[in-house]
Amino acid sequence: MASSIKISRLISRSISSASSSTLFSRGGNGGYRGGLLAKYSTAVVVDEQPIKPLVQVEHIGLLIDGKFVDAASGKTFPTLDLRTGEVIAHVVEGHSEDIDMDVAAARKAFDIGPWPKMTTYERQKIMLHAADLIEKHNDEIATLETWDNGKPYEQSRQVEISMLTLHEPIGVAGQIIPWNFPLLMFAWKVGPALACGNTVVMKTAEQTPLSVLYTARLFLEAGLPPGVLNIVSGFGPTAGAALASHMDVDKVAFTGSTATGKFILQLAAQSNLKQIRLLELGGKSPFIVCEDADVDQAVELAHFALFFNQGQCCCAGSRTFVHERVCDEFVEKAKIRALNRSVGDPFKSGIEQGPQIDSKQFEKILRYIRSGVDTGATLETGGERHASKGYYIQPTVFSDVQDDMPIAKEEIFGPVQTILKFKNNEDVIQRENNSKYGLAAGIFTQNIDTANTLTRALKVGTIWVNCYDVFDATIPFGGIKTK
């Protein structure tokens, strides 16, 4: 009701203003002049003498780290009174150097400042106080808005309109999935999209189309209308690129490499600026074994975190950080566990590790293993092809791994465990957060304070404590940074 009153007040004021103006004076040719030039015009003649706003322009500097300051260049630019063309004020002009300082201030405030660590209630108090101050200074803010922008003062000051949000389907969803978990990726992407009323065009990975095609047929049997679910088996440069750049696709969801994800963003921007809501890309996740850990249990869990699915998992615990006091024991037991890992035909009972996905991935993994040896890491076990046929690789363990080695920085996507020694919580936090990836992390400790400290400090999307790769359909999964 309040909104209706305010809108009505605006309308009545406009009508009152119109009726009191010389809008209908007849010109010499019999036409109307001075305002309502046509029968249905709503134009209003305004006073030629501009009203001087009763407000002082106080803040013209750049707000950097809590202070209004001059630009590094010393430059300013004018902001104009749109009614007269006169200068209201000269505002400080920021450049790239000022952006750098602003971003550095925001990064510092986020990383070590109090704001992210406050409780929701503490932040709420500040935000509500800010809202109260905005209401208190409403007239000044509205005056500056109209003076600077030209919109009618009443609109700046008090227009309120009731609104309604409707949840509706987006439209045609293009979905591109990887080869490491084809059926899981199908479920994660197709399920929510169809449930919300969208239609889907999915491109499977060229290496693994079969389970998805079979499952899609079951949706048709269930009564899904024609055209709602569409599957294309093909290659990225042809089918994938065409889907990402198609003008009639409303949204793209993608899981795959970081490089391909960046390319898909470009294609979406160059076509119809379609939504890119799901980019689930590469990872180099840490598995942190703390000083108080039960080493035997930690070895087993770290082994699972890395070697699961032949190491072909975006959230694999591919950097095993071990506290220096237990590292030697951990390395020896990790080596024994890798030697005892069963590798072979995945249809055979008891087999833990099958072949890699294809020859390209197989050769890539072997290159990384050679790189680890060449850069000075200690090869504890493995490192070679397993069996004469098939894309099998021996379970491989490296120790004495340094942060700057390719095997420590880059995603191998294979059965290669890299063990790095750390001194304390601060050391491992700083080293992990230097990674360009931020998908997941594992923490193994008996101390709840240690778990909480690491959980709050690590810049990743998902953290498991004393477990790994545990999922629930109600829990979101995703990362930060290039993840």
Annotated catalytic residues are 280
CB 307 within 8 A of CB 340: no
Instruction: Please give the structure tokens belonging to residue 213.
Output: 């095609």
| Alpha-carbon 35 to chain mean position | 53
- Yes or no: say if 319 and 422 are a contact pair by the CB < 8 Å rule: no
By C-alpha distance, which of 406, 429, 207, 208 is closest to 318? Answer: 406
User: H/E element holding 16?
Assistant: helix 2-20
Q: What is the dihedral of CA 192, 193, 196, 198, to 10 degrees?
A: -170
For residue 230, what are the CA distances in angstroms to 42, 201, 213, 240? Answer: 52, 5, 10, 14
Contact (CB, 8 A) for 391 and 359: yes
DSSP 152: -
| Most distant CA pair in the chain, distance | 105
Q: Which of 248, 285, 279 is nearest to 266 (CA)?
A: 279
Please state the separation of Cα 333 from the chain's center in Å. 38
As a whole number of angstroms, the distance between CA 402 and CA 371 comes to 13
Residue with tokens 């300082």, as numbered in its chain: 101
Would the CA dihedral through 137, 141, 147, 152 be positive or negative? negative
- DSSP class of residue 94? P
Distance CA 91, CA 74 (A): 11
Helix (H) or strand (E) holding 287, with range, is strand 286-289
SS3 for 473?
Answer: coil
Alpha-carbon distance of 336 to 338, in angstroms, equals 5
User: Within its chain, how far is the Cα of 8 from the centroid?
Assistant: 43
Are the C-beta atoms of 442 and 286 separated by less than 8 Å?
yes
Alpha-carbon gap, residue 144 to 134, rounded angstroms? 13
Q: Are strands 416-422 and 396-399 parallel, antiparallel or unpaired?
A: parallel
Q: Which residues is 76 bridged to in the sheet?
A: 92
